[in-house]
Amino acid sequence: MAKAVPGVIFTTVIALVATFISGLQIIKETVNFSPLIISILLGILIGNIWKIPEPLKLGVVFSLKKILRIAIVFLGFRLTFQNVIDVGLEGLIVDAVMLISTFTFGVWVSRKLFGLEPEMSYLIASGSSICGASAVLATAPVVRAEMHHAAMAVATVTIFGTISMFVYPIVYKFAGSFIGFDEVLYGIWTGATVHEVAQVVAAGFAVSDTAGNTATISKLTRVMMLAPLLIVLSFYLARKKATHGAGIALRDIPIPYFVFGFIAMVGVNSLDFIPKNIVHYINVFDGFLLTVAMAAMGLETNINKMKGVGMKPIYSAFLIFIFLFFVGIVSIKIVHQILG
* Average pLDDT of the residues in 125-143: 84
**70-73 CB contacts, 8 Å cutoff, 24+ apart:** 70/258, 70/289, 71/286, 71/289, 71/290, 71/292, 71/293, 72/197, 72/201, 72/216, 72/220, 72/258, 72/261, 72/262, 73/258, 73/261, 73/262, 73/264, 73/265
Residues 6+ apart with CB under 8 A from 262: 72, 73, 75, 76, 216, 220
The pLDDT assigned to 246 comes to 47
The pLDDT assigned to 243 comes to 52
Closest C-alpha among 115, 126, 165, 141 to residue 250? 141
Average pLDDT along the chain: 85
Residues 6+ apart with CB under 8 A from 340: 90
Closest C-alpha among 143, 123, 146 to residue 134? 123
Phi/psi zone of residue 260: left (φ > 0), alpha (ψ -120 to 50 degrees), beta? Answer: alpha
The pLDDT assigned to 304 comes to 67
Closest C-alpha among 290, 300, 288 to residue 7? 300
Q: Are 102 and 323 in contact (CB under 8 A)?
A: yes
Determine the Cα–Cα distance for residues 13 and 283; give it in Å rounded to an integer.
19
* Average pLDDT of the residues in 237-247: 61
Determine the Cα–Cα distance for residues 1 and 62; give it in Å rounded to an integer.
9
Would the pLDDT of 73 be above 60?
Answer: yes
The three-state DSSP-derived secondary structure of 84-106 is HHHHHHHHHHHHHHHHHHHHHHH
**pLDDT top residue among 335 and 257:** 335
Q: How far is CA 312 from CA 125, 126, 337, in A?
A: 14, 17, 37
* Among the ranges given (20-29, 157-166, 204-213, 238-247), the one the predictor scored with the smallest mean pLDDT: 238-247
Question: What does the pLDDT look like over 14-52, one tens digit per residue?
Answer: 999 999 998 888 887 776 677 887 898 899 899 889 888
DSSP 66: I
Q: Are 110 and 314 in contact (CB under 8 A)?
A: no
* Average pLDDT of the residues in 244-273: 70
The phi, psi pair for 188, rounded to 5°, reads -60, -45
Which amino acid type is present at position 244? H
| pTM exceeding the 0.85 threshold for the entire prediction | no
Provide, for the chain, the percentages of residues in helix, strand and coil under a 3-state DSSP scheme, each rounded to the nearest 5. Answer: 85, 0, 15
Q: Are 207 and 172 in contact (CB under 8 A)?
A: yes
Determine the Cα–Cα distance for residues 119 and 146; give it in Å rounded to an integer.
8
**pLDDT top residue among 33 and 118:** 118
A 10 A CB-CB count for 200 gives 30
A 10 A CB-CB count for 297 gives 27
**b/e map of 159-181 (b: 16 or more CB within 10 Å)?**
bbbbebbbebbebbeeebeeeeb
The phi, psi pair for 243, rounded to 5°, reads -135, 155
